[in-house]
A and B are shown apart, each in its own frame.
Chain A
Amino acid sequence: SQELEQSPQSLIVQEGKNLTINCTSSKTLYGLYWYKQKYGEGLIFLMMLQKGGEEKSHEKITAKLDEKKQQSSLHITASQPSHAGIYLCGADNEKLTFGTGTRLTIIP
Chain B
Amino acid sequence: GAVVSQHPSRVICKSGTSVKIECRSLDFQATTMFWYRQFPKQSLMLMATSNEGSKATYEQGVEKDKFLINHASLTLSTLTVTSAHPEDSSFYICSARDVGTGGIAFFGQGTRLTVV
Main secondary structure, interface of B, reads strand
Main secondary structure, interface of A, reads strand
In the complex, which residue of chain B has the Cβ closest to the Cβ of A95?
B49
Kindly supply a per-residue 1/0 record for chain B positions 1-13, scoring 1 wherever the CB is within 8 Å of any chain A CB and 0 otherwise.
Answer: 1001010000000
Total count of chain B residues near the partner, CB < 8 A: 26
**Pair A95/B34 contact, Cβ less than 8 Å:** yes
**Pair A96/B43 contact, Cβ less than 8 Å:** no
Q: How far is the CB of A85 from chain B (nearest CB, A)?
A: 13
Given contacts A40-B110, A40-B112, contact A98 B44 (CB under 8 A): yes
- 7 closest Cβ contacts across the A-B interface? A43-B107, A42-B107, A42-B109, A101-B43, A98-B44, A98-B43, A95-B49
> Which residues on B are within 8 Å of A, measured CB to CB?
1, 4, 6, 34, 36, 41-44, 46, 49, 57, 91, 93, 95, 97, 102-110, 112
